[in-house]
Structure 1
Amino acid sequence: MSSMPERPTLLRQPPPDPNKAPIENVLDVTELAVLGPNIFTNTRKPWHPPGARGIYGGSVIAMSLAAAQRTVPADFMCHSCHCYFLLAGSSELPILFHVENVRDGRSFATRTVQAKQKGRVIFTTTISFVRENSSASSSALVSHAAPMPLTDAAGDPVRPPPDDFAGEPELLNQGPFQGHRIEVLNKDSALPHEKKTRQWVRARGKIAGGHQAHLTALAYVSDSYFIGTITRIHQLWRFPFRPEEIPQMPDETQERVRLMHEWEGLGSTDDMKDRPEVSMMVSLDHTIYFHEPKRVVADEWMLNEMESPWAGDGRGVVTQRIFSKDGTLLATCVQEGVVRVKAAPKTEGKEFKL
């Protein structure tokens, strides 16, 4: 007897809701009360980035958060999320999100979420929520926040792109988020920990689902280019072919490679000859601290600034700060990942896979 065919969702995928922003449709989860309490599944097929081992990690983080949000009162907001990526997720299998009610207190609530495919846990997270206005009188609080980064040139605060920005290449403008070209600061420094990357991002369309939808959108984009910061500050080559091979490719492929390379702040591909080559790069864990949950407006420009204090033993750590366009520090994120480099460049026996 033949087995049931695999499918990306447990239930039939509905058409996109035109009243929601694209990111809201991407991250929609459906409750499965028939299977038990606090069990959810992905409503639509998750994105599998080209060349990646599995689905985009930010979607699993964000859908786990969306599921957990459904189990707490409306006045409780996520302030921290601690995640572990355990197995590569498949875009051809449904995901089940099992939410466990760990604790409900007056000021804080805690949930754990396990994301499973075929009974195996591919991702787990512990999420803490805080009740709005649960702190003491504002006069009794300590308060500080890092300010908006300054430009290198004039020393003025970094300013967002115009609201009508449309300079994103067509090759890169298909996802639910719009981004500006990545900038690498201190690019010529011999010390990788002195370098930083910056990029402006915003969700396409208008998010209609309230502050919780804005938080899941931020969680989604927080994983974008994150551990890849290591490749930028060390100038590592990450494509499945050597830069010396690019002139042998079709003109269209050459243009795509150069465009993607430059858009990510790495400059000309000609400068990457003889650079070390990435053999493996995957995220291990991911933490988000939401500092100002009610001030997150993910469909307006947000600046992320990333740097790496350490790399070694086949791993790297990257920190990220996310600011609103008015300079409010919205979130701080930390990620550790496996970053392995090939011992020497190899050019023989490879196929062009882009």
Structure 2
Amino acid sequence: MSDPGPGPEALEELLDLLDLERVEQDIFRGRSRSAIIPRVFGGQVAAQALVAAGRTVPADRAAHSLHSYFLRTGDPDAPIVYTVDRIRDGRSFTTRRVVAVQHGRPIFHLSASFQAYEEGMEHQSAMPAAPDPETLPTAAELLPRYADAFAGPDIVDRLLEARAAVDLRYVHEPPFATAGTPREPRSQVWFRAAGKLTDDPLLHVCLATYVSDMTLLDSVLLAHGRGGWTVGDVVGASLDHAMWFHRPFRADEWLLYDQESPSSSGGRGLGQARIWTQDGRLAISVIQEGVVRVPR
């Protein structure tokens, strides 16, 4: 078994994917990386769409929120065209709408808002307890332990390859490790880019957006003792995704992703989360709903 653990080469590949080609003033083109499953990873499309939006916004305005819908399955072998609509340019806020298109049809829609820095009232919730990330096993150390539980013999290699640009460490056992045993619908992971990033704030926000789609619905699976698509007992896909960026952060420094699921019904599961810097600042809030179906 190969060991493509997190490293700078994989990070460079991801950064290259996020460096969209500008076709016209407000039209960009991106490509996809190898996927675990034969469709475009949702976090990649969301991150690329946010890159496209951010490149039409003045540099002194930072992203503070995004709201998006996954409309169709993306084709990993075809380019994705991102068209940006300049909805509003106000004195404090800038709004952009982005539509991602493949084969002549929209596959993803995003609205993002950017704000010029200003002082304001400050408060936040307390950061939850979590162990030091350096004491936790890396993905390359953890995943092979559960190779027998996965739906196919190559799943471990594909998971490691797909996540090689990010150092992601589970605080508790992930769903695929405890399939068949319902647990509290809450999970935590620490993550950071697998290398140093530039100081561009948009890049850090887009990297966090990319990672935010990796594990958010794990808490739904935990509530029902399901291992997920890697085990073969669930079929799932992201439906919508929203993020609020509260405070500046660096995605190449440790971030705690504290996730929970308040509800699942009707073949859908809801995940909500907060992302904290290691020194306890609340950086991001996230909500996502996805299809979570038991195969018949």
Q: TM-score range by the shorter chain?
A: 0.7 to 0.9
Write out per-residue CA displacement over residues 194-226 of structure 1, whole angstroms, 9 at most, x where no aligned residue: 531001111011112511111110111011112
- 1:113 — aligned with what? 98
The alpha carbon displacement at 1:118 in A equals 1.3
**2:79 and 2:72 mapped to 1: Cα distance?**
14
- 1:330 — aligned with what? 283
Stretch of structure 1 that moved more, 316-325 or 231-240: 231-240
Establish whether residue 149 from structure 1 lines up as the match of residue 128 from structure 2: yes
Task: Give 3-state SS (helix, strand or coil) of 1:183's partner.
Answer: coil
Stretch of structure 1 that moved more, 223-232 or 118-127: 223-232
Establish whether residue 28 from structure 1 lines up as the match of residue 7 from structure 2: no
Establish whether residue 232 from structure 1 lines up as the match of residue 211 from structure 2: no
Task: Number of aligned residue pairs: give it.
Answer: 265
Write out per-residue CA displacement over residues 84-111 of structure 1, whole angstroms, 9 at most, x where no aligned residue: 0000001110000000000000000000
Unaligned 5+ segments in structure 2 are 1-7, 142-156
**1:296 and 1:229 mapped to 2: Cα distance?**
25
The alpha carbon displacement at 1:191 in A equals 8.2
Structure 2 counterpart of 1:122, from 84, 89, 107: 107
Write out per-residue CA displacement over residues 301-329 of structure 1, whole angstroms, 9 at most, x where no aligned residue: 11101100111111111001111111111
Q: Is the 8 A contact 2:217 2:261 kept in 1?
A: no
* Equivalent residue letter for 2:192: R
Unaligned 5+ segments in structure 1 are 1-16, 152-157, 243-276, 344-354
- 2:189 — aligned with what? 199
The alpha carbon displacement at 1:143 in A equals 2.2
* Equivalent residue letter for 1:31: R
Give the TM-score taking structure 2 as reference length: 0.82
In terms of fraction of residues, the more strand-rich structure is 2
- 1:45 — aligned with what? 32
**1:59 and 1:46 mapped to 2: Cα distance?**
9
Structure 2 counterpart of 1:287, from 236, 242, 248: 242
Distance 1:319 1:217, change over 3 A: same
Flag the structure with more relative contact order, 1 or 2, with Cα contacts below 8 A and sequence separation at least 6.
2
* Equivalent residue letter for 1:309: P
Give the TM-score taking structure 1 as reference length: 0.69
Structure whose CA Rg is larger: 1
Structure 2 counterpart of 1:161, from 110, 134, 137: 134
The alpha carbon displacement at 1:332 in A equals 0.4
**1:241 and 1:168 mapped to 2: Cα distance?**
17
- 1:132 — aligned with what? 117
- 1:319 — aligned with what? 272
**1:283 and 1:38 mapped to 2: Cα distance?**
26
Percent of counterpart pairs with the same letter?
Answer: 35
- 1:84 — aligned with what? 69
Task: Give 3-state SS (helix, strand or coil) of 2:263's partner.
Answer: strand
Q: Is the 8 A contact 1:115 1:124 kept in 2?
A: yes
- 1:304 — aligned with what? 257
**2:79 and 2:138 mapped to 1: Cα distance?**
35
**1:191 and 1:232 mapped to 2: Cα distance?**
6
- 2:152 — aligned with what? none
Correspondence 1:233-272 to 2 at 5 A: 233-239=223-229
